[in-house]
Amino acid sequence: MKFYIKKVYLWFSEEDKTVVEFEDNKVNVIRGNSSRGKSNIFAIIDYCLMSDKPNIVEPIINQYTEYYGIEFQLGDTHYSISRKKPVDNVGADSVFMDNKPFADNYYPGKNNPNRQVSEARKELDRKCGLSRKEYIYPWGDDVDNPFVVSFRPFLMFNALTENIISTQYEFLNYKFFEETYTDEKAKRDYLFDVLLGVDGVKEKEQSELVEKLAHDQNSNKRQRTSYDKVRGRFDGNMDAIIAIFKQAGLDASYLETDAPDADKINYLQRIVDELTPVTDAEKQQEDEKLSALKQELHKKRILLNNINNAAYEYKVYTDEIKYLKDSLKPVDYLREQLKNLGVTMWSNMLLDELKKSLLSLDDKAKMPDKSDFVSPEQIERLKKDIQDLEESISQYSKLQIKPVEESVKYMAIGKVHTMIPILWNLLEKIPASKPREIDYTRVAQLRQTAQAEVEEIRYRRSTEVKEKLDPEIQGIFNRFTQLENFEGCKTRYDRK
C-alpha cells in the first residue's frame, strides 16, 4: 500500500500559515544548516499522525504556531488532518479528519474536531490492514493489555535521516521514533515481518512446537529408560527371591500374583520374622513370656467358666422362687372358700400358721441382682481377652528354634533378609505411574511438518529482503549524486 505525504501545514493565525509541499514518486530531500528546523518537519508529521509524545521544539516553532496539519494519500484514499498544538508537551486529545483536501481558506479554529486521537488511529490501522488479531505483538509481557501493532512505527520507512549519508551501512534511524515500538530488536524484526507480509507469529509458534515436540520426545525417552531400568532391577530381585523360596520349599505363590509391590515386600518381611531362628537367651525369654501368657489364659478361662456356672445357678434359683410364690395361691383360695362352708377356730389357726410360714420363706427368697456378679459386657470382654491371648500364644509358638534339618530355609531367609532393603530402595525410585507411550513416528511427522513451515517462512523472509527490499533500498542510494562509500550497501536488517 502506497503512503505519500503531500503537504504539511503550520497555522500561526487565521490569516497566516505556512505550507510545505512534497512531490510524489520522488525522494524529497530537506536540507539546511544545523538547528534550522529540519527534524521538526517530521516531528509535525508525526504529531499529526496521532503521536502521544510530541517532540516539536517549543521555542520559535510551537511557541508561535496554533495548529498543525497534514495531507497524505494512503492507498486509494486521501486524508486531511489538523490538530491543535501541544501544550506543555501534552498533545491535543482530538483531531479534525476529512477525506478531501483543505480549502484555501480553511482554518482549524473554525472547525470543531470530529475524531478522538484513539479513534483516528484505529481508523488508519484498519485502512492499513492492521486490525486483525495476528498483528498483536506476540512477545508482550502484559497479557491483559497486549501491545497491538499500529501503523505508526512504519513511519520510519517513509522518512530517512542524515544517517543514510553520514553512516555507512545504516538505512533506518529507528532511534528517532517512539521507543514503544522500537526499543527491542525483536519488535523491530517483527515490524519488518509485518511490512514484508511474513508471518512471524506462525514462525514463532511452529518453532516452539518443534522445540516442544523434541523436548517431550527426549523427556519421554529418558523417563521410559529410567523407569525400565529401575523396574527391571526390582523385578530381577523379586524373581531371584521367588527362586530362593522355591528352592527352599517355601510358598512363593503370593509373590507371583499381581499384588502391589509394597504388599509383597511386607509379606516377605513377615515370613522372615516368622522363620528367623532365635538364640538360647531369646528362647528362654520367649518361653517365659509364653508361660505367662498361658497362665493368664488359664485364669481368664476359669473366670469365664465361673461366670457361666453362676448364670446357670441364677436361672435355677429364679425358677424355684417362682414355684414358691405359686405355692401361696392354694392357701388364699382355701381361706376364701372355707368362709362360705363354715370353719372352726382350729381350721383358721391352721391356715394362718401355714400362710405365715410360706410368707417367711418368700421374704427370705428375694430375687438377687444379676449385675452383682455377671453382665453381658463382662462376658464379651473376657471372650475378647481370651481370643487375643490365644493369638499371642500362637505367634510365640512360631518363634521356636528350628531343627537342624531346616538349615536350607535358614539360608534362604538370610538371603531374603538382606534383599528386602534393596527392594524398598528400588521401589522408592519407581515412578508412581508408568510413563505414557508416545508414537515416535507421529511425533517425527509433526516435527517435520512444523520445521518445513518454519523453513518456508524464513526462506520467504530472506527472499523478500534480498530480492525485493534490498534492491529498493539500493535504488534510493543510487539516486544520490555522490556514491562514494555506498556501493553495495545493505540494510542492517539483512537476516541470512
Please report the pLDDT score of residue 176 as a whole number. 61
**Quick check: is 226 in a domain?**
no
**What is the domain extent for residue 172?**
157-197+439-496
Do 9 and 116 have their domain in common? yes
User: pTM of the predicted model, to two decimals?
Assistant: 0.49
Tell me which residue has cell 530537506: 30
Task: Give the mean pLDDT of 274-287.
Answer: 66
**Quick check: is 145 in a domain?**
no
* pLDDT tens profile 220-257: 898 899 999 999 999 999 999 999 999 888 889 999 99
In terms of pLDDT, which residue wins out, 324 or 286?
Answer: 286
What percent of the chain has a predicted confidence (pLDDT) above 70?
A: 70
**Quick check: is 267 in a domain?**
no
* Residue 20: strand pairing partners: 8
Do 69 and 118 have their domain in common? yes
Please report the pLDDT score of residue 107 as a whole number. 95
- Alpha-carbon distance of 57 to 447, in angstroms, equals 55
Q: What are phi and psi of 113, to 5 degrees?
A: -60, 145
Q: What does the block give as the cell for 101?
A: 483536501
Q: What are phi and psi of 464, to 5 degrees?
A: -65, -40
Q: What are phi and psi of 220, to 5 degrees?
A: -65, -40
**Quick check: is 171 in a domain?**
yes
The set of residues, in sequence order, having a beta carbon less than 8 Å from that of 107 and lying 6+ positions away, is: 11, 14, 67
Looking at the structure of the chain, the number of domains it has is: 3
Do 356 and 452 have their domain in common? no
**Quick check: is 479 in a domain?**
yes
**Quick check: is 149 in a domain?**
no
Do 4 and 50 have their domain in common? yes
Is the pLDDT score of 16 beyond 90? yes
Please report the pLDDT score of residue 431 as a whole number. 84
What stretch of H or E contains 288? Answer: helix 280-327
Do 10 and 119 have their domain in common? yes
Report the 3 state secondary structure along 312-365: HHHHHHHHHHHHHHHHCHHHHHHHHHHHHHCCCHHHHHHHHHHHHHHHHHHHHC
